Amino acid sequence: MSAPDFILRTIDLIKVYRSGKVDVPALQGVDVGIERGEYVAIMGPSGCGKSTLLHLLGGLDHPTSGKVFLDNIEISSCSDGQRTRLRRERVGFVFQRFNLLPTLSVLGNLEVARAIHSNGAMMVPYGRLREMLVLVGLESKMRRKPSELSLGEQQRVAIARALIHQPAIVLADEPTGNLDTTNSMNILRLLQELNRTLKQTIVMITHNPEAAAVGHRIIEMRDGKVVSGATSRAPAVIP
């Protein structure tokens, strides 16, 4: 049996926030490993540390102690600038509230992302924008502003933006949290399709068990600890 090919791995991850004079533990010794090409859902009640874990996995924040390895690079000890570069090159984020730039069109949003990701040695070809728009089915609406799109369409733009630089991993923070059932299903179908056809590694936070079921594995968290999630299984089929 070959050793697992982890794209993301944490070792004894601890994160403590300071609230006034009180220490609030958000993560208490989390060990998780995400293999290349996996689609993993992280579930748990509010305040269990899901978002904190996602921020640490994506290099948005640094842990109080413990280690995070992204593509075999220990990002927990990197400087702010190094973590920014790693995010730019290897991570794609999808947020619950989409967080598109409201002043720009769909194409403009992707152009900004391309400009950010083309910084340094990396260069995203312009043709990639159209490929992404075709992939998420929004080529005909590329001149529209986010406010002229449905919520589901806005989330598809956010997914296109996250994929533009072919990241090693996509981190999605409740991507269906603001959507109705139909749009949620469409987004989950799109993410599953990306994972299946492009072998895109995806880590998704969700409250919704049905959404979590589309992944290969569900990591359950409670009180800042992982309580289950070691076993892979067949992803659910989205109707």
Partner 1 sequence: MGVISKLAASNLFYRKTKAIVSILAVALGIILVTVLVGLADGTLNEYANRIERIGADIILQPPGSSALFAFSGGVLPIKLKGKITLLPGVRIVSPVLMTAGAKVKDAVVLIWGIDAATYDQVGVGIKILQGRMFQGQYEVVIDTVWASSKNQKVGDTIELLGKTFNIVGMRMAGDSGRILVPIETLQSLMSTEGKASLFLISATSASAVQPLVARLKKEFPGYNPIISATYTQALIDNAMAFKQFVIVVTALSVVVSFLVILLAMYTSVVERTKEIGILKAIGAGKVFIIRAILLESILLTLIGVGSGYGLSYFTKIWLNHIYPSLTVDLTWHRMLMAGMWAMAGGLIGSLYPAIRASRLDPVETMVFE
Q: How many residues bind to partner 1 according to rule CB under 8 A? A: 30
Q: Is 182 in the site for partner 1 (CB under 8 A)?
A: no
Query: Phi, psi (5° rounding) for residue 108?
Result: -60, -40
Tell me if 236 contacts partner 1 by CB under 8 A: no
What are phi and psi for residue 47, nearest 5 degrees? 85, 5
Binding region for partner 1 (CB under 8 A) out of 99-107, 132-140, 195-203, 214-222: 99-107
Per the structure block, which two tokens stand in for 14? 């601890």
| Stretch of residues binding partner 1 (CB under 8 A), selected from 88-96, 132-140, 183-191, 202-210 | 88-96
211 binds partner 1 (CB under 8 A): no
Compute the C-alpha angle 214/239/187, nearest 5°: 55
Q: Which residue do the tokens 């730019």 mark?
A: 88
Nearest to partner 1 of 11, 60 (CB atom): 60
Compute the least distance from the CB of residue 163 to partner 1, in Å: 11
Show contacts with partner 1 in window 52-71 (CB under 8 A): 55, 58, 60-61
Identify which of residues 146 and 152 has a Cβ nearer to partner 1 in the complex: 146
Pick from 1, 3, 18, 102 the residue near partner 1 by CB under 8 A: 102
- Pairing of the two strands 169-173 and 91-94: parallel
**Cα–Cα distance between 90 and 41 in angstroms, integer?**
19
Q: Note whether 111 binds partner 1 by CB under 8 A.
A: yes
Q: Return the half-sphere exposure (C-beta side, CA atoms, 13 A cut-off) of residue 182.
A: 3
